[in-house]
Each structure stands twice: as structure tokens, then as C-alpha cells.
């Protein structure tokens, strides 16, 4: 049995899109802040440390609210989401930021919404309409063309890592978005972090012991703090909550706007000027997202027994 969520509850879809936009805003600083952190800290250590720090905060939140442990039938989904958003995306994006500028990385990461739609159709059994697919592909084509144009027709050496981050992120988004309909948005990311923490503890401690930390500057620590608290935890409160209301496929398209948020913030942090062509492309992407917002997505009815 399926439900077409736009006709069932348009208000819920609108709230989901709004929550997704808040999540995207939190994510938009991830690459610039990671770029600052990897200048002085090991990339793999950053990826693991951010997850362990976020897991401690997540455990405190779950304990404070008295949230029960998820049923065993949800554990596989929790670990699957963790592979994507706790391990895969942080590791590959951190590696990419060692050699790739945040602005360029943001353009490649802009392929994540389309990858999420494909993953949701495969794993979560959401069925976007042809009009939705057309809007999603058009939006992704615009940002990919923008990437090639800015790169002079070529992709940077860190793009393979970024593409791996896209694949991992889409996998984690789809699984987390599905679980959020059972567990709730903020509860889902908290349990994803808590379930993965024991497996990452030993490698994190080992890397901590061999990573020089004595002379690290405060900007690098600030970068680590941001990706730990906002990129790995708080942003997902909004992101998974939005997916629970509006669906994985539809809400994922809001992330097309992350490219331009990141470009603006990276320009502010690094003193780079945002060119008029960027604003023109952003306007076109906003229009495409608006079109995608009005198209149908058939979602499976979730019965939590």
C-alpha cells in the first residue's frame, strides 16, 4: 500500500521542506570548517573524532528525554545509516578537503540530492513521478555544468573522494529518512551515533595517541567543534525530521541549495568574491527546486507494529 504525500497532507510536506532547509543551512558550513580543520589535523582522525564527540552529546540527549532503545528490527537500518553518515561521508569528505577547495567540493557534493533520490527509490521504495525525476535531473545537470565551468572543464584530484562521499551520504540519508518515520528525526541520528560509537572507539583512541595535538590552533579546533556538533548532530535533527514529514526524495532536493550557501559562506570565511554567475545559477536552481516541490512522490505507508 502506498500514499501520495502531497495530496494526503500538504502542510506536513511544507513543514518537512522547511526543516530540511534548516538542516541544509547547518550542513553548508561542513566543507569550509573541515577545510580549516584538516590544515592542521589528520583527516581520518577528524572524521572519527567528530562522530565520537557527537555520540556523547547524542547519548546525553537520549538519556535526558528517556527515549527507549529502538526495537531490534530497526538495528540493521541504524547501522546502515551509520555506514553512510557517520563513517563514509565524514571520512571521504575530510580526505577530499586536504587537496580540494571547499567551493569546488560544494559543487560536486551538489550531486547528493539526485543520488539520494535514486537510493530512496531503490531502498525505501519511494516512487517519484516523471515530472519529479525531470526536475531532479535538471537541477543536478545545472550544478554539474556549473562545476565543470568553474573548473575549466576538468574535475579536481579530490573529486573521486567527493563522489564516494556522495554515494555514502545518499545511502545514509535514505536509511535514516526511512527510520525517522518510525523513530523521529532527532532520535534517529542520536541512535545512529550511539550504535556506531563502540565500533569507532578503538580506532579513534589509537589515532588520538599518534596525532600531534599540542600545537593545534584555535581555528582548527573550532572547525572540529562545528562539524562535531552541527554537521554530525544538530543538522540531522532538522534533516531527518524533514524527511519524516516530506519524504526522502522530495526533501533531498532542498540540498541543491547547499551549494550556494557553501559558496557564500566559504567566500566570507576565505575572502573570495561570489561572482554574478553564481547568483544566476542559484536563481535557476531555486526555480527547479520549486518545480520539484509541486510534483508527486508516492511513498510507502509505514506501519510500526
Domain boundary assignment for the chain: 2-300
pLDDT at 26 over 60: yes
Give the pLDDT band (50/70/90) at residue 151: low
Residue range 90-105: mean pLDDT, rounded: 87
Q: What is the DSSP letter of 111?
A: T
- C-alpha separations of 76 from 94, 147, 187, 234, 265 in Å: 26, 36, 16, 23, 36
Q: 92, 161 in Cβ contact below 8 A? A: yes
Comparing 4-13, 26-35, 62-71, 147-156, the range with the smallest average pLDDT is 4-13
Q: Distance between CA 60 and CA 97 in Å, rounded?
A: 31
pLDDT at 304 over 70: no
pLDDT at 7: 41
Give the pLDDT band (50/70/90) at residue 257: confident
Q: Distance between CA 194 and CA 201 in Å, rounded?
A: 11
CA torsion sign for 41, 47, 48, 52 is positive
Cell reading at 138: 535538471
pLDDT at 293: 60
CB atoms within 10 A of CB 188: 30
Comparing 125-129, 167-171, 263-267, the range with the smallest average pLDDT is 125-129
| pLDDT tens, residue by residue, 154-166 | 666 677 899 899 9
Comparing 20-34, 187-201, 238-252, the range with the smallest average pLDDT is 238-252
- What is the average pLDDT value for the chain, to the nearest integer? 84
Q: 84-103 as b/e, with b when 16 or more CB fall inside 10 Å?
A: bbbbbbbbbbbbbbeebbbb
pLDDT at 113: 81
Nearest Cα neighbor of 119 from 54, 167, 186, 47 is 167
Cell reading at 151: 573548473
| pLDDT tens, residue by residue, 50-71 | 999 999 999 999 999 999 999 9
User: pTM for the whole thing?
Assistant: 0.83
Half-sphere exposure of 122 (CA within 13 A, CB side): 11
H or E segment and range at residue 235: helix 235-246
CA 123 vs. chain centroid, Å, equals: 17
Amino acid at each position: 500500500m502506498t500514499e501520495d504525500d502531497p495530496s494526503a497532507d500538504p502542510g506536513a510536506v511544507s513543514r518537512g521542506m522547511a526543516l530540511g532547509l534548516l538542516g541544509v543551512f547547518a550542513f553548508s558550513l561542513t566543507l569550509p570548517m573541515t577545510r580549516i580543520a584538516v590544515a592542521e589535523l589528520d583527516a581520518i582522525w577528524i572524521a572519527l573524532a567528530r562522530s565520537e564527540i557527537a555520540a556523547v552529546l547524542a547519548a546525553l540527549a537520549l538519556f535526558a528525554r528517556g527515549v527507549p532503545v529502538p526495537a531490534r528490527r530497526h538495528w540493521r537500518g541504524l547501522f546502515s545509516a551509520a555506514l553512510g553518515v557517520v563513517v563514509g561521508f565524514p571520512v571521504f569528505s575530510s580526505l577530499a578537503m586536504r587537496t580540494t577547495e571547499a567551493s569546488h567540493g560544494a559543487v560536486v557534493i551538489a550531486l547528493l540530492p539526485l543520488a539520494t533520490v535514486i537510493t530512496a527509490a531503490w531502498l525505501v521504495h519511494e516512487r517519484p513521478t516523471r515530472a519529479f525525476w525531470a526536475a531532479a535531473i535538471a537541477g543536478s545537470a545545472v550544478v554539474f555544468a556549473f562545476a565543470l565551468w568553474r573548473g575549466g572543464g576538468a574535475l579536481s584530484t579530490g573529486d573521486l573522494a567527493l563522489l564516494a562521499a556522495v554515494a555514502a551520504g545518499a545511502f545514509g540519508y535514505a536509511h535514516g529518512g526511512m527510520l525517522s518515520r518510525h523513530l523521529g528525526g532527532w532520535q534517529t541520528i542520536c541512535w545512529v551515533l550511539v550504535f556506531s560509537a563502540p565500533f569507532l572507539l578503538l580506532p579513534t583512541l589509537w589515532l588520538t595517541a599518534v596525532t600531534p595535538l599540542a600545537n593545534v590552533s584555535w581555528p582548527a579546533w573550532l572547525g572540529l567543534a562545528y562539524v562535531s556538533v552541527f554537521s554530525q548532530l544538530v543538522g540531522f535533527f532538522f534533516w531527518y525530521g524533514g524527511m519524516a514529514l516530506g519524504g526522502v526524495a522530495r526533501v533531498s532536493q532542498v540540498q541543491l541549495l547547499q551549494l550556494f550557501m557553501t559558496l557564500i559562506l566559504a567566500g566570507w570565511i576565505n575572502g573570495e568574491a561570489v561572482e554574478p554567475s553564481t547568483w544566476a545559477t542559484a536563481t535557476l536552481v531555486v526555480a527547479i527546486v520549486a518545480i520539484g516541490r509541486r510534483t508527486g512522490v508516492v511513498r510507502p505507508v509505514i506501519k510500526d507494529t
